[in-house]
Amino acid sequence: MDNYLFEGGRITKMEVDYTSACDEKIPLAKELAKKNPDSFHEAIEMLLNLEKQTRLGADMVSCSRVLVAICQICLSAGNWNTLNEYVTLLVKRRSQLKQAVSKMIQECCSYVDKTPDKETKLKLIDTLRSVTEGKIYVEIERARLTKILADIKEADGDIAGAAAVMEELQVETYGSMDKREKVELILEQMRLCLLKEDLVSTQIIAKKISIKFFDDPAQHDLKLKYYDLMIRLDRDSSYLKTSRHYQAIAEPPRQTPPPEPLEESKKKSVAFKEDDKKKKDKEEEAKSATALPPVELTPEQDKEQKQRLICAVLYCVLAPYDNEQSDMMAKLSKIKKLEEVPIYKEILRLFMSKELINFDTFNHDFGTVLAENDMFQDNTKHGRKCIAELKDRLIEHNIRIIAMYYSRVHLKRMSELLNLPATRCEEYLSKLANSDTIRVKIDRPAEIVYFTTKKSASDVLNNWANDVNQLMSLVNKTCHLINKEECIHSVKSIAVEE
């Protein structure tokens, strides 16, 4: 097997071993180019002849050494244009070996930070990106070069160009790339799309990341970055999703588990050869039993955790009422850390209670505290929107409570309870009726509001069956009375004739 090497996923036979020739000629060519700069092209020509021999002889190791040596001689001479030309030339040669190309590209990638100026750097990146396009075996190097190019464009203020360059990469399809590096590049794509306010593309890219990846405590920094981007994406469109994002990062990070010994992991893999269902159950039990304790937080980190929990509560309160929002409020109320911020726990309790919330009292008790929060700043567009949404949620909560206790109420009395004019009451009633939150009918001439409860399918069916039974009993009774009248009439007519 010494004469066989793997190339491109298949075994290729090495016809001739040029190791000794490389050991002799590569140092000679480097020394020649270093001592006499005029002999630069002569040294390169010597290595090109050797490259042809190693390529046709399928000696991948020697061919890789020759290609790397050519790049090193160009770097030593500071001849960047020649480097770009030879990289392009060598990649396109007939029967060029993939492993050799990969080694050369990796070597050239290390030269990007050594370029003397920005123009040279851009030319080298452009050359390397063009020769690696469509080649799976150098996809990682192309992705890293694209990230460097995007950073340069962003530094120049070309956000759209940087985003367009990064979006070309389909990182999720790269099988040879490490998971963490994949996620880092996808997060960079999301960040650039957000900077150019392309929300649709950001949503599409965000779905490429599985949230289960962040269950690993070692990825906590990427988890924070991901949810920070998701909060920026969803905070103006979906308060419920934003609350869920804050809730995901409000939990303190767990300690990183120590790596298992190789022998123990092998024993476990042999021992757990059972049904899939039993295997999953055992894994879950093991995880719960060996749950690692949270990391001890510094005072600054503890303050950040509280702030995230506060934002989770506030965005949950701002979300329109539905079953999911109600469940999330109940879940948030059970978090022990919420006891450290009693004011926000009280706000959550008020919106969960079946009592009317007076706006003036609410403003007096919590207005000052909420005004200090960044969410409710008057000088920002998002802050003004949050203030308006909070007022709407208060009124909608009160209407739902009224609908629970009243089957009908005068419009004037309702406007007194809500502290709103009658026209505004009608607007909110229509809005909640359209969202199917309440069932309501308004008798405008009499100015009476009728509330009805939503009936289930079984209740509707039972009512229909009762109505049908009553109808049939009435029909039977009517038929009986008609028959009775006919009998009496026939008896009377016979008596008259006699």
Concatenating the DSSP letter of every residue in 6-22 gives EETTEEEE-----HHHH
Q: What is the pLDDT of residues 354-384, one digit of tens each?
A: 999 988 899 889 988 888 888 888 888 989 9
Predicted pLDDT at 279 = 54
Compute the chain's Rg from CA coordinates.
Answer: 38
| Spatial distance between the Cα atoms of 220 and 207, rounded to a whole number of angstroms | 19
Which one-letter DSSP state was computed for residue 294? B
* Residues comprising the chain, all counted: 498
Q: Which two three-digit tokens encode residue 113?
A: 């930070």
Predicted pLDDT at 350 = 92
Q: Which two three-digit tokens encode residue 259?
A: 């790596």
Which one-letter DSSP state was computed for residue 355? S
- What is the end-to-end Cα distance of the chain in Å, rounded? 130
Predicted pLDDT at 385 = 92
Predicted pLDDT at 268 = 46
Q: Which two three-digit tokens encode residue 131?
A: 């020769």
pTM: 0.79
User: Could you list the mean pLDDT of each consecutive 10-residue stretch along the chain, which spans 498 residues?
Assistant: 48 72 89 82 90 87 91 89 91 88 92 90 93 90 93 92 91 88 94 92 92 89 93 91 92 63 46 49 48 69 88 93 91 89 92 90 89 87 91 92 89 89 89 87 87 78 85 91 87 72
Q: How far is CA 376 from CA 91, 363, 384, in A?
A: 59, 13, 7
Sign of CA dihedral 51, 57, 58, 59: negative
- Residues contacting residue 339 through CB under 8 Å, at least 6 positions apart: 345
Paired with 6 in beta bridges are 11
Predicted pLDDT at 225 = 94
Predicted pLDDT at 295 = 67
| Spatial distance between the Cα atoms of 243 and 228, rounded to a whole number of angstroms | 12
Backbone angles phi, psi at 449, to 5 degrees: -105, 125
Q: What is the pLDDT of residues 263-314, one digit of tens each?
A: 444 444 444 444 555 555 555 554 444 455 666 778 888 888 889 999 999 9
The candidate with the shortest Cα–Cα distance to 7, out of 96, 98, 92, is 98
Q: How far is CA 180 from CA 113, 223, 258, 487, in A?
A: 23, 11, 18, 94
3-state SS, one letter per residue, for 227-284? HHHHHHHHCCCCHHHHHHHHHHHCCCCECCCCCCCHHHHHHHHHHCCCCHHHHHHHHH
Predicted pLDDT at 176 = 84
Helix intervals (H) in 57-117: 60-77, 80-91, 98-109
Q: Which two three-digit tokens encode residue 423?
A: 């026209």
Which one-letter DSSP state was computed for residue 450? E
- Interhelix angle 179-195/139-155, nearest 10 degrees: 30
- Residues contacting residue 107 through CB under 8 Å, at least 6 positions apart: 67, 68, 71, 72
Q: How far is CA 186 from CA 143, 181, 226, in A?
A: 11, 9, 10
